[in-house]
Amino acid sequence: MKISGLMISVSLFSFLSFLRRAIFYAFFYVYLRSFLGLSNTLSALLGTANLATSTVGQLKIWGPRLNRNPHLAKKYVVRGEVIAGIVYLIAFLGHRIFVNSNSNLIAALFLISCTSFLEIFWSGSDLGIRQLQAEATIGENRGRLVGTIDGIGLIGQLLGFLIGGILYQEGNGFFNGSIFYVVVILIFACAFVIFIAPYDSEFKQSDSLILTAGGIKEVFKLPAFGYFIIILGILTMGISASTQLFLYYVTDQSALNFSAKVLSYLLILFSLSGGLITPIGGKLSDSWGRIPIMTISGFGAALSYFAFFSLGQQPLLIIAIVYSVLGASSAILQSIAFSHAADLLPQEFQGTGFGVFNVTLATGWGLAGFLIGGPISDVLISLGESTASAYRSSFLVSGLIILFGTVALLSVKRK
């Protein structure tokens, strides 16, 4: 199996991007909720707003252009990362001013607004790196190669959770800027890695395809891809509906009552299990098929949430084992889903097609907590339920949604 220079560059980018995302987002929701005082539902607004601007960027701006000219992929990544670094600095300085003036709500909304505006440009980077990843993994070993890239990324995520746990310091890591500064350095490093990456797309597009490719309607005229995306959306919504709530559940005094340091250890296990299993799962998907491996992973994710619903307060070891299973199942689902999508998409539709794929994954992160997990917990708490009980109810709903999507996977054509 030949490893290309582009494969190495994409893998390094994956490591750095997962690292900085983990450092920032592992505790960012906790910062919004605990330090700045937002409700569960308003905290989830972050993902919803980011999703809206990312969708516009990927499907209306960058995706159609990338269909017509795959060579733009590298440019989109570099430009998106550079703009992201600049906006992060602005977000930190602006929100600090509002916090110092005792306007925590405005500070939180300013952070959400900045990151949402940023997604218009950062979505071009997300789309460009998907294009580069698809070209770096062409061939019969695609599942194994994608799994390796994702595994390397998850190792970066593991380190990010560890570093984030050290830097967070009960919210002061965001307030004093140390987390922002570290993340900005990593963002610029991501831009540099792709800037020097060897890349020369071999794709040649005919004039007729230039006139027809690029629209969302054309992508969804591929029935196998459209049906798969719908099911992937259901699975992603189920997994993500309670992802954010689990962070609160772990540290809530009426629930597990673990420290922030213990939370970082659990997040490390979540990433470690995913990082170790994705190369294996990817390799198995090359020989056994993408859908069977995704189905097994779906059942694993559903059972994990059912366990969190029924277990209640348990020793750390039990919680760690279940959370590791959830981490491994989630990682395999996402990794193999990309391989399957890349298999289904003709190259002239990959720009918009990968945009649809990215938006589908972001829908879970952006909408699930806002529409499902957050409201369920907030309503139950307002009705007198304990926070622990409210969070466990959300876990039950997540498990049911995942189970429904997993059963639906059984009807997808194997490939």
What is the tens place of the pLDDT at every residue in 307-331?
999 987 778 889 999 999 999 999 9
pLDDT at 190: 96
One-letter amino acid of 133: Q
| DSSP sequence for 184-239 | HHHHHHHHHHHHT----------HHHHHHTT-HHHHHTSHHHHHHHHHHHHHHHHH
pLDDT at 51: 77
353 or 209, which is more confident: 353
Which two three-digit tokens encode residue 148?
Answer: 């390796």
218 or 275, which is more confident: 275
Q: What percent of the chain has pLDDT over 70?
A: 92
Query: Can you give the residue ranges of every domain in the chain?
Result: 5-409
240 or 398, which is more confident: 398
Q: Is the pLDDT of residue 212 over 50?
A: no
Mean pLDDT (the chain) is 85
CA distances from 128 to 9, 43, 108, 233, 326 (A): 13, 29, 30, 21, 29
Q: Is the pLDDT of residue 201 over 60?
A: no
**Tell me: the pLDDT tens digits for 99-128?**
999 888 899 889 989 988 888 888 899 989
Q: Label residue 200 exposed, middle or buried (CB < 10 Å: 0-12, 13-18, 19+).
A: exposed
CATH of 5-409, picked from 2.60.120.560, 1.20.1250.20, 1.10.287.1080, 3.40.1390.30, is 1.20.1250.20
In whole angstroms, what is the distance from residue 136 CA to residue 77 CA? Answer: 15
Query: What angle is formed at CA 317 by the lines to CA 304 and CA 308, rounded to 5 degrees?
Result: 25
Average pLDDT over residues 75-88: 95
In whole angstroms, what is the distance from residue 364 CA to residue 348 CA? Answer: 27
pLDDT at 397: 92
In whole angstroms, what is the distance from residue 312 CA to residue 326 CA? Answer: 16
**Tell me: the pLDDT tens digits for 281-292?**
999 999 988 999
Average pLDDT over residues 77-83: 95
Classified as helix, coil or strand, 21 is helix
pLDDT at 333: 93
pLDDT at 187: 96
176 or 29, which is more confident: 176
pLDDT band at 35 (very low <50, low <70, confident <90, very high): confident
Classified as helix, coil or strand, 412 is coil
Query: What angle is formed at CA 222 by the lines to CA 365 and CA 404, rounded to 5 degrees?
Result: 45
pLDDT at 41: 67
CA atoms within 13 A on the CB side of 233: 13
pLDDT at 240: 85
Average pLDDT over residues 60-72: 82
pTM, rounded to two decimals: 0.79
In whole angstroms, what is the distance from residue 384 CA to residue 381 CA? Answer: 5
